[in-house]
């Protein structure tokens, strides 16, 4: 019985501390400096670890740091097809032309630009998490000891803390929005709903030990606009709502997510679509257009890539979001993978194991850039506009641009692409006067 009481007392003290030190300050938007201190310790530790790893490597190389995987591991010859084949022309065709295609094929097999975007970014140096320990081997006893301490800290201290915070955050979100939803529509209701959303977002961001830096806040999305951003993980939405209120757009889910969706839509006009409605593109566009036309409604938040990419590049933007009209506010989000990998590889991990990985990382550190608004220009169609916005986001976030569709994560390339290449090649042959 005594043990039971002791446990309850410890639990109460724990909860009390959490509430006092984390929940209340974050609700008020005040910082006690605890996260800053934590980050400082973390950065110092990782720097020390990097130096030890560099010292420990015996190879006589001028530089330890490997080239980042984003730039590729093989040397690519970017000579266009015409030039390369013209160089080889001695026998008139295919005997030599096949070299070019053969080599391109092999390059693609060794490394292709697209598939590598669907797996986590490689780190330049180890960050003391087992999951990123791909290239790095045992170095020294001290490093291993630090790693063990890290594991204990992460799993025994940080994980329960974050879990508690997440639970508090989600519960208060559901309860808060339901209560606000009971009120009649008025400016008071809107104000209260914004307060609730912001507070809960802040608590959830603390639950992930998130350190977010917002740049160019003067460009923050205004009411009646559309906010588009690159997509890396489900957390993206929380990262953005931490600093402002948006109307979310998405499909209705079941389970806990569904409960949250149903509760929040009462307080704030989020746009949730049923599964069946998603297929009907005109219906979707119509609803979004109605929402945007009402200038008093919050800006809608859309991720045009349609799927999670690993934050080293921006893939094709689906044109649907750009056909709605209105002003587009682009936002670039770049995570720092050194502290924790935010990318959700949905083919490898389900949402629960993903959240577990996030909560046992060191922290989520990211930069958010708000960019000046863009509108569709005269004579520009939706696809060109989408590409323009995408280039701007990629440039700002320091990401590469790929014309490929994120849907390639699961589907195959359309045959039309291959036929394009064949057409180009045969056009070249015809031009060289090789026929008749």
Residues that contact other proteins, how many (by CB under 8 A):
58
Nearer to other proteins, 251 or 347 (CB): 347
Region binding other proteins by CB under 8 A among candidate stretches 177-185, 211-219, 255-263, 422-430: 422-430
Which residue in 91, 275, 378, 433 binds other proteins (CB under 8 A)? 91
Q: How far is the CB of 358 from other proteins (least distance, A)?
A: 23
Binding mask 230-249 for other proteins (x = CB under 8 A): --------------------
Which residue in 3, 30, 141, 435 binds other proteins (CB under 8 A)? 435
Q: How far is the CB of 311 from other proteins (least distance, A)?
A: 18
C-alpha 150/C-alpha 148 separation (Å) is 5
* Sequence-separated (6 or more) residues with CB below 8 Å from residue 290: none
Angle 378-288-381 from CA coordinates, rounded to 5°: 20
Q: How far is the CB of 338 from other proteins (least distance, A)?
A: 20
Scan residues 394-413 and list those touching other proteins (CB under 8 A).
404, 408, 412-413
If one asks whether residue 436 binds other proteins (CB under 8 A), the answer comes out as yes
C-alpha 191/C-alpha 176 separation (Å) is 13
If one asks whether residue 319 binds other proteins (CB under 8 A), the answer comes out as no
Scan residues 32-71 and list those touching other proteins (CB under 8 A).
61-63, 67, 71
Q: How many CB atoms lie within 10 A of CB 163?
A: 14
Rounded CA Rg of the chain: 26
Neighbour-count burial of 55, counting CB atoms closer than 10 A to its CB (0-12 exposed, 13-18 middle, 19+ buried)? exposed
Scan residues 108-167 and list those touching other proteins (CB under 8 A).
108-115, 119, 134-135
Nearer to other proteins, 104 or 220 (CB): 104
Which residue in 8, 15, 86, 102 binds other proteins (CB under 8 A)? 102
C-alpha 240/C-alpha 201 separation (Å) is 9
If one asks whether residue 420 binds other proteins (CB under 8 A), the answer comes out as yes
Pairing between strand 328-336 and 364-370?
antiparallel
Token pair recorded at residue 62: 């001028």
C-alpha 297/C-alpha 271 separation (Å) is 11
Q: How many CB atoms lie within 10 A of CB 56?
A: 15
Nearer to other proteins, 59 or 275 (CB): 59
Which residue in 7, 20, 98, 356 binds other proteins (CB under 8 A)? 98
Angle 45-47-50 from CA coordinates, rounded to 5°: 110
Which residue in 44, 278, 426, 431 binds other proteins (CB under 8 A)? 426
Please answer whether residues 335 and 364 qualify as being in contact, where contact means their C-beta atoms are separated by less than 8 angstroms: yes
If one asks whether residue 191 binds other proteins (CB under 8 A), the answer comes out as no
Region binding other proteins by CB under 8 A among candidate stretches 200-208, 258-266, 267-275, 417-425: 417-425
Q: How far is the CB of 305 from other proteins (least distance, A)?
A: 15
If one asks whether residue 74 binds other proteins (CB under 8 A), the answer comes out as yes
Torsion of CA 422, 425, 427, 432, to 10 degrees: -160
Nearer to other proteins, 223 or 410 (CB): 410
Q: Is the dihedral of CA 400, 405, 407, 411 positive or negative?
A: negative
C-alpha 58/C-alpha 67 separation (Å) is 19
Binding site for other proteins (CB under 8 A): 61-63, 67, 71-75, 88, 90-115, 119, 134-135, 404, 408, 412-413, 417-423, 425-427, 429-430, 434-436
């Amino acid at each position: 019985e005594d043990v039971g009481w002791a446990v309850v007392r410890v639990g109460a003290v724990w909860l009390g501390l959490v509430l006092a030190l984390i929940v209340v300050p974050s609700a008020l938007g005040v910082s006690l400096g605890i996260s800053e201190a934590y980050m400082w310790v973390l950065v110092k530790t990782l720097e020390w670890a990097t130096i030890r790893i560099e010292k420990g490597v015996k190879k006589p190389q001028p530089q330890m740091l490997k080239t980042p995987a984003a730039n590729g591991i093989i040397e690519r010859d970017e000579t266009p097809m015409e030039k390369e084949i013209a160089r080889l022309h001695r026998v008139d065709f295919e005997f030599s032309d096949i070299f070019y295609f053969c080599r391109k094929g092999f390059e693609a097999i060794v490394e292709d630009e697209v598939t590598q975007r669907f797996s986590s970014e490689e780190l330049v140096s180890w960050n003391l998490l087992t999951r990123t320990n791909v290239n790095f081997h045992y170095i020294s006893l001290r490093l291993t000891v630090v790693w063990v301490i890290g594991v204990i800290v992460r799993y025994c201290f940080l994980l329960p803390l974050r879990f508690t915070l997440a639970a508090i955050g989600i519960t208060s979100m559901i309860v808060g929005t339901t209560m606000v939803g009971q009120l009649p529509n008025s400016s008071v209701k809107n104000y209260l709903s914004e307060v609730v959303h912001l507070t809960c977002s802040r608590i959830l961001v603390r639950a992930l030990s998130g350190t977010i830096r917002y740049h160019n806040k003067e460009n923050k999305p205004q009411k009646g606009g559309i906010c588009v951003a690159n997509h890396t993980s489900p957390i993206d939405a929380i990262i953005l709502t931490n600093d402002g209120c948006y109307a979310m757009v998405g499909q209705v889910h079941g389970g806990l997510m569904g409960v949250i969706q149903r509760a929040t839509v009462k307080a704030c006009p989020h746009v949730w679509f049923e599964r069946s409605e998603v297929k009907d593109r005109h219906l979707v566009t119509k609803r979004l257009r109605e929402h945007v036309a009402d200038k008093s409604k919050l800006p809608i938040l859309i991720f045009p890539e349609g799927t999670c990419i690993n934050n080293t590049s921006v893939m094709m933007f689906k044109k649907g979001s750009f056909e709605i009209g209105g002003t587009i506010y682009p936002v670039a989000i770049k995570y720092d993978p050194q502290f924790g990998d935010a990318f959700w590889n949905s083919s490898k991990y389900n949402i629960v194991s993903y959240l577990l990985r996030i909560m046992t990382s060191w922290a989520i550190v990211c930069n958010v850039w708000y960019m000046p608004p863009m509108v569709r220009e005269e004579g520009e169609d939706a696809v060109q506009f989408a590409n323009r916005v995408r280039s701007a986001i990629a440039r700002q976030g320091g990401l590469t641009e790929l014309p490929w569709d994120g849907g390639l994560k699961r589907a195959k390339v359309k045959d039309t692409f291959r036929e394009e290449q064949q057409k180009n090649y045969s056009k070249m042959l015809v031009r060289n006067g090789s026929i008749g």
